[in-house]
Every structure is written in C-alpha cells, then in structure tokens.
Homo-oligomer: A and B are copies of this chain.
Amino acid sequence: MLTFVGLGLYDERSITLQGRDAVRAADRVFAEFYTSRLAGTTVETLEESLGIDIEVRDRAGVEEDPKLILDAAAEGDAVFLTGGDPMISTTHVDLRLRAADRGIDTRVVHGTTAQTAASSLTGLQNYRFGKATTLPFPDAHGGEGVPDSVVATIEDNRERNLHTLVYLDIKLPAERYMAGSTAAELLAVPLDDPIGVVVGQAGSEDPTVDGDRLSALAERDFGPPLHMLVLPATPHPLERDALVTLADVPADRLDE
C-alpha cells in the first residue's frame, strides 16, 4: 500500500490526525521537498514530532528512480509525504499512476492548501476565484518582466469579475522564494496598478494579510516566505468589509 499524505501548509502541526496515524503505522516513510516545503519546520522536527524516520528523496529519486518507493509499497505500508495536499503536483499523480500500474493499492490523505488559505484569510469567497496562475522569476522564464500568459489569465478573470490567486515562484532546493513585494512590483505596470493582497506565512499562528495598490505593496516587507498575491475582483459588500478589516486595504482605495 502506498499512502500519499499531505503535511499541510506550514509546520509539523499542519498535518491531520488521519495523516499522523498513517505515518505512524507505516513501515517506511518517504518525503520530497523539491516541489514545496514547509516554511515553519525542518525534517528533524517533523521526525521528532511524529515519532518517525523520514527518507527524503530528491527529484531524481522520485521521478527517474521511483523503484525504491514502489518496492517498499509493494512489500509493506509505505507513506509518501509532501507539503500541502499530496496530489496537487503532477509528479505525485504520476507516481500514483505508476503504483497503480504495478497493482499497488494507493490512498490519499488530504492536506490544507494555499488555495484554501488565500480565500480564507482574505475573506474573499472561494467560488468567485477564477483560474489561478504562477508568476515566475523574470530570469526563469527566458523573457523579461511578466509572461503574457500570466497577464492574460488575470485580465480574463477581471473581465468576468473573478478574483485571481497568483502563486509566486519558488526555486528549490536553492530556497529562492519570490517576495510579495517583488510580485507587486512586476505586476503593477502591466495591470495598471490594481488593489492586491499579499498573504504570507499562511497556516502559521500569525499570518500576514496586507492589501493596497500594487505600487504601494511593492515598497513593503511581508516577512519570511512563503508569500502569495491575491488580485480581488470588485468585492461584494461583505468581501469589501473583509478587505478593509482583515487585509488593511485603505477604504478610499476601494472607491477610486
């Protein structure tokens, strides 16, 4: 049996009780931290807190050489741990399909996600979010500034009066994280400087939720990673109150 367990958003306490029980019952526990990582903890703390040994696999050790994990799952109970929800990344879906090909039973234990936190912490209604997008570092997509596809997704949502969640680029294992201020600076001109909300340290006890025009957000420090950026559509009355109260958006900016 191969059980995919999501560690959730932030630290060693973001896992569900179901997930904790699954790792404790497993014969072997693998993990990968190249698609995402928990900003609030370490592998050592996870091991100590959950009372387990974790075998961390790099990208090659999952994608090119999955045999070690699949053999363990064929012989006993193996768990594969990842940040957030375990099936959000395509590489994990691929591993699940390889397990199914070998006749190995699989199971998914869900985790809390950035997508949920973006809606939850801003007070913007989840059913009003359109397609999400990821903003890459300018030096990572071979072009300058912002890819047209990112702007097109945001504009398309805006035309339909939907919110957009912008994931910010992460380079692992280099631990390079795009800051909310960088994202705001990159997007201010192509989007004509709309209101945005930076969400930082989602899942922690004291997350950052701070909104204003992107040109103003570009000048601020939102603390340690991870950051994401939400671009609200025209808010409903309750959403408007939430933006002002929970995200400190200056009320007069919403009326401009």
Question: With A and B bound together, what is the CA distance between A202 and B85 in angstroms?
Answer: 13
| CB interface residues, A 15-45, toward B, < 8 Å | 15-18, 20-21
User: Could you tell me if A116 and B119 are in contact, using CB atoms closer than 8 angstroms?
Assistant: no
- Report whether B238 and A94 are in contact in the complex, using a CB–CB cutoff of 8 Å: yes
Q: For residue A242, which residues in chain B have a CB less than 8 angstroms away from its CB?
A: 93, 96-97
Mask: chain A, 81-119; 1 = CB below 8 Å from B; 0 = not = 000011110100110110011000001101111011101
Known: A17-B15, A116-B88. A96 touches B110 (CB 8 A): no
Q: With the chains together, A106 CA to B16 CA distance in Å? A: 22
**Which of B16, B21, B116 has a CB less than 8 Å from the CB of A113?**
B116
Which residues of B have CB within 8 Å of A133? 127
Known: A108-B121, A110-B112, A133-B127. A245 touches B160 (CB 8 A): no
Query: Does A203 sit at the interface, judged by CB under 8 A?
Result: yes
* A146: Cβ under 8 A from any B Cβ: no
The yes or no answer to A128 lying at the interface (CB within 8 A) is: yes
A130 at the interface (CB under 8 A from B): yes
Which residues of B are found within 8 Å of A131, using beta-carbon distances? Answer: 127-130, 160, 162
With CB as the reference atom, state the residue of chain B lying closest to A167.
B127
Contacts of A97 in B (CB 8 A): 123, 238, 241-242, 245-246
Q: Which residues of A155-193 are within 8 A (CB) of B?
A: 156, 160, 162
Within 8 A of B (CB), among A26-79: none
Assess the B246–A86 pair: CB atoms within 8 A.
Answer: no
Distance from A2 Cβ to chain B, minimum over Cβ atoms (Å): 13
Stretch at the interface among A6-14, A136-144, A213-221: A6-14
Q: From the candidates B112, B121, B126, B128, name the one contacting A112 in the complex (CB within 8 A).
A: B112
Q: A132 and B123: CB pair below 8 A?
A: no
| A252 in contact (CB, < 8 A) | no
- Per-position binary interface string of chain A over residues 191-230, scored 1 when its CB falls under 8 Å from any chain B CB and 0 otherwise: 0000000000011011000000000000000000000000
Among A12, A86, A127, A128, the one with the most B-chain Cβ atoms within 10 Å of its Cβ is A127
Task: Verify B115–A110 contact, CB threshold 8 A.
Answer: no
| Cβ A238 vs Cβ B90 within 8 A | yes
A-to-B contact residues, CB < 8 Å: 6, 8-9, 11-18, 20-21, 85-88, 90, 93-94, 96-97, 100-101, 107-108, 110-113, 115-117, 119-121, 123, 125-134, 156, 160, 162, 202-203, 205-206, 238, 241-242, 245-246
